[in-house]
Structure 1
């Protein structure tokens, strides 16, 4: 049973008739594996059931859903979910207004537009959750406008995120061979795993797709066009028994992603062929070349000022870019909390930023992912 299909029928057959024709929008957005389309039979063992968000005009009185049937298509309509109602069973019809719903998850209402800080301090997993899912009813386009505003980075923010992603690769790409050369096979494997993760996330950036949270990163990557070519060498890098095979697979995958980055036309092209790391028997892409090319192409005043303020490594052309919030940290406790993300402005090189008030209708934290 698809969670989205279940929720759509729940809205159409149980929720919409109970609203008595009052103006509203309805959707299933935000948290949950089913929102991203990755739910399966295992997902139903917790935090799963018929649920929907009902969006009312600002200030409209909330309807009561206490008379919902006890079950819907074999699933209870009242069930416990992690992080909601103190863990006690409740129905999962969230009543709110569009601005408050998005502000609770982003720290701002995207209908007013997003600035540089908003983009850099919003995790891609949040953007994925708000632009995926399904809209069941939106006659005035309140949800469509906000989702369109979150569809993708502005062009120079995109350049900046790509530049920072390639810098992360550059910082560790030589360590696979170096660790292996001193007999540290475990260390070489650990670094290879880290690089595979960075290259997978770069593939999402290249294809203009928001990367989901780690549980579904590989599943989401498999849906990308680049998975057909870059996927096999990335898998080979993780499975390789020796350092040389691991290194060969990584530079093959990275070279494919360099070529794909070149095809975007965002910067001057960079040769995707690997080369020696100084005079050592280690092959790398020297991925910082993409960082230099991409940052050199930035013209937006805000992004340009950030790059210039951050400065170059040892005064040179390679920018010291921390990147977006989820390039700076992968802590779940930060990435799922918009207030914490926005308080981390200094980590990404920005001044302090504010945020909107939380959802004043429900006051409930979002449900955890199934």
Structure 2
């Protein structure tokens, strides 16, 4: 059986493709890249905690954090106000920014493998817009059927429905092209965004309308420890599952026929992974709003650094996405201080030109 599969794989050309995916790109060793990204995350997180309307010295930030973990090691020399700023105000926001950035990057990389399209992105494919409709319904109608989980579950259902709709709209004759996928995603996203806007405009409560509108622009203001744990759990579990299915994801890069020849049930695998990605995106959007282009930019940068093998690329994408969004959130709250720019605006300003460059590069090839 294995010999026959190997012969079939060689006949379809999947053998060389999988070997290429697994191969290491020339350049810096993978541990060095991973260590650099880890230091980058730590540096941006430290800056995110230290910088603000009340600045806290970097050394004091680490002393406060260490005192919280092991009180006996550090003698408190700071005021209670600074400790409150670090622990209760800025740390949960920085942690949430890192989790959201990591989750969007990992989800974007998984989507690009599932649909075999480098332009796939949670926002471009309408997934974020679907999650937004579910979340806006909860915010505007003040629904609380499931308590704290009402908003994440509604966002998840909207994200899953949007992803399934785009997937079937983009397929024709069993095939999916880049143009059809982008058009289906953009059209679905526009329709869902219009639905969300209609719900906001027709709301009779100005306060709910304002909060829903700012939420749709994407932002992490007002983050507390209560809102952090659900997305942390969803992103950690989702990333762990994706790391466990790296081989099937690598096989999909070779094509559906080749992956099926090697024993992968492509349709069942895609269905399960679509549900997982929708759960991750729905949970993320429920706490951060729509933050676009992170899931598009980070996977491409990571592939340039470590190659396309998902065993290497997924951890790197999580670290790079976390560092990027922490830095973007820091810029969002300091560029126009004391006013705060929705972080989704900054990621769009960076991601839009990158998306245009990517399309021109793909067209030239």
- Give the TM-score, by structure 1 length: 0.27
Q: TM-score, normalised by structure 2?
A: 0.28
- Compare relative contact order (CA 8 Å, sep 6+) and give the higher one, 1 or 2: 2
Instruction: Name the one with the larger helix percent.
Output: 2
